[in-house]
């Protein structure tokens, strides 16, 4: 959501309503194998700003002490050379068509307005291979059998996982995580909903049985089965 807004040049905290699930759906697929690293950062403990005009002492100068803050970094398996790469899918409701058309026009013809990051400013990101999938290449399907799903999916939609012992290397990479879904509204970063998602930390799809329809998407290079995070 934040990267779309940065690309569009929308001001901070001004886009939560535009990009909410009543308008826009987001899906995500991991393209390169990922791992998580946890670190402790030694931040200043800021409890009072003080008055630097009257006194040299201030929490900003370290007088308030320091606080150990956990910090999570997502990286490639080899942090020195592997990249973090995702494939992002955008869909829209009927109500969200004008917003989607605006996003579509910008992504297909213009460069991002603001610099893109994956988290904090020092984790710079970029966008490649933007593709518009025509309706003729998108089909909603349902199945009572196991299917290969390439994107993250809400855990509530998953009935069962299937593992083939001959493909064990592909299945040592499934994670479940809780992620913010939507915010209350523009100017308010209070979380309105959370998404508990199941996903693969590699490009290999999940082999699952699900209790909802999914989307078969034919890109210029492959056919994918995906689900959106907020559906």
**CATH number of the domain that 183 lies in?**
3.30.70
Q: Cα–Cα distance between 138 and 219 in angstroms, integer?
A: 9
Residue 9 lies in a domain: yes
Domain that holds residue 75: 2-38+59-226
**Which tokens is 197 given?**
């998602």
> Residue 77's pLDDT band (boundaries 50, 70, 90)?
confident
Residue 100 lies in a domain: yes
- Closest listed residue to residue 34, CA positions, set 118, 117, 112, 91: 118
Residue 103 lies in a domain: yes
Cβ neighbourhood burial of 101 (10 Å; 0-12, 13-18, 19+): exposed
pLDDT digits (tens, 9 = 90+) for 134-162: 999 999 999 999 999 999 999 999 999 88
Q: What is this structure's pTM?
A: 0.84
**Which tokens is 162 given?**
């299937």
Q: Cα–Cα distance between 193 and 195 in angstroms, integer?
A: 7
Number of domains in the chain: 1
Residue 45 lies in a domain: no
Residue 51 lies in a domain: no
Q: Which residue has the tokens 């989307």?
A: 215
Residue 46 lies in a domain: no
For 92-118, what is the mean pLDDT?
A: 94
Residue 49 lies in a domain: no
Residue 166 lies in a domain: yes
């Amino acid at each position: 959501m934040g990267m779309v807004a940065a690309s569009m040049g929308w001001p901070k905290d001004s886009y939560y309503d535009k990009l909410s699930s009543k308008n826009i759906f987001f899906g995500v697929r991991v393209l390169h194998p990922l791992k998580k690293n946890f670190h402790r950062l030694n931040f200043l403990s800021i409890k009072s700003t003080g008055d630097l005009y009257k006194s040299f002492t201030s929490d900003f100068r370290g007088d308030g002490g320091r606080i150990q803050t956990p910090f999570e970094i997502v990286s490639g398996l080899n942090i020195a050379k592997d990249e973090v790469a995702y494939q992002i899918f955008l869909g829209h409701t009927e109500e969200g068509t004008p917003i989607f058309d605006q996003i579509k026009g910008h992504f297909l013809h213009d460069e991002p307005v603001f610099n893109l990051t994956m988290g904090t400013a020092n984790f710079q990101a970029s966008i490649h291979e933007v593709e518009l999938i025509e309706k003729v290449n998108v089909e909603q399907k349902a199945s009572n059998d196991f299917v290969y799903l390439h994107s993250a999916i809400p855990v509530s939609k998953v009935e069962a996982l299937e593992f083939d012992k001959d493909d064990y290397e592909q299945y040592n990479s499934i994670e479940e995580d809780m992620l913010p879904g939507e915010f209350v509204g523009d100017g308010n970063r209070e979380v309105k909903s959370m998404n508990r998602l199941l996903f693969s930390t590699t490009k290999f799809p999940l082999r699952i049985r699900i209790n909802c329809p999914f989307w078969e998407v034919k890109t210029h290079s492959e056919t994918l089965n995906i689900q959106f995070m907020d559906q």
